[in-house]
Amino acid sequence: MTAIPMEHGLALAAALFVLGLVGVLARRNIVFVLMSIEIMLNAAGVAFVVAGARWGAADGQVMFLFILATAAAEVAVGLALVLQLYHRFRTVDADAASKMRG
């Protein structure tokens, strides 16, 4: 890493994470909630890569690969749940599934 201070990379990661968190908290469309979770996972990966570049180590990129695998598994299950929600309630409003039975 040449001239970019670590704080600026971490600030980028923090900004992306906060934007994703706002999306999770503010949106009710469950597809947007899933997208915001992807943004937050990606921001955490940015923080790992920045830290790895700061010390010139490969561990940050390894952690990013694990985050990538986690995000892939999460989005597969999450989108299957979105399809279930849509077929059952005919809406993608997350508040429609506010009652638990069983």
Q: Which residues bind another protein (CB under 8 A)?
A: 1-4, 8-9, 12, 15-16, 19-20, 22-23, 26-27, 29, 31-32, 34-36, 38-39, 42, 45-46, 49-50, 52-53, 56-62, 64-66, 68-77, 79-84, 86-88, 92, 102
Instruction: Identify which of residues 11 and 98 has a Cβ nearer to another protein in the complex.
Output: 11
Q: Are 82 and 32 in contact (CB under 8 A)?
A: no
Paired with 93 in beta bridges are 29
Q: Measured from the CB atom, is 9 or 98 closer to another protein?
A: 9
- Left, alpha or beta for 7 (phi > 0: left; psi -120 to 50: alpha)? alpha
* Least distance in angstroms from the C-beta of 25 to another protein: 10
DSSP 57: -
CB nearer to another protein: give 53 or 94. Answer: 53
Angle, helices 6-26/30-54, rounded to nearest 10 degrees: 170
